[in-house]
Amino acid sequence: MRYGCLKSARPPALPCTKKLALVSLMPTPKPSAPLTFDLPVSLITKIARAKRGHGLGSASEVVRLALEQFDLASFQPIRDPHQQISVRIAGKQRAELTRAAKRKDASVGELIRAALERLPVKPRRR
């Protein structure tokens, strides 16, 4: 075992004058790294407009500016609680739903949610 400046196995009798380098055990943050996420096309368009409007050079600069100005601490996401249900749908209607989902590049659930959102609570008067 080494003690300070000495190469012996005994502790030093006098204080050592050699300074030891401090080694940080905390990881150092990387300067930047790619972050991939999904955005609706409307926000991609807004990024392009903001880039021109603020005279910025990249989408990354727009996102960094938006995050600097955004209050992350007070953000409260708005979530509509979901619950899973099972329903019976005739084979013909299920096949039609599945084909429409493929054509529209959507999920069956998205189509059902859209149909339910547009369904009036009461039938229309004739």
Any domain includes 80: no
Any domain includes 58: yes
Q: How many domains does the chain have?
A: 2
Any domain includes 97: yes
Type of residue numbered 116: L
CA gap 74, 114 in Å, rounded: 31
Read off the pTM.
0.55
Q: What is the pLDDT of residue 111?
A: 95
Q: What is the pLDDT of residue 33?
A: 85
* Average pLDDT, 10 consecutive residues per value, the chain (126 residues): 54 57 63 87 96 96 95 90 93 96 95 93 86
Q: Which domain holds residue 63?
A: 38-70
Q: What is the pLDDT of residue 6?
A: 52
Q: What is the pLDDT of residue 16?
A: 57
Any domain includes 53: yes
Dihedral sign for Cα 96, 101, 102, 103, please. positive
Any domain includes 63: yes
Any domain includes 8: no
DSSP string, the chain: --BTTB-SSSPPSS---PPPPP---SPPPPS---------HHHHHHHHHHHHHHT-SSHHHHHHHHHHHS-STT----------------HHHHHHHHHHHHHTT--HHHHHHHHHHHS-SSPPP-
Contact between 63 and 51 under an 8 Å Cβ cutoff? The reply is no
Any domain includes 44: yes
Q: What is the pLDDT of residue 123?
A: 87
Any domain includes 113: yes
Q: What is the pLDDT of residue 103?
A: 97
Q: What is the pLDDT of residue 10?
A: 60
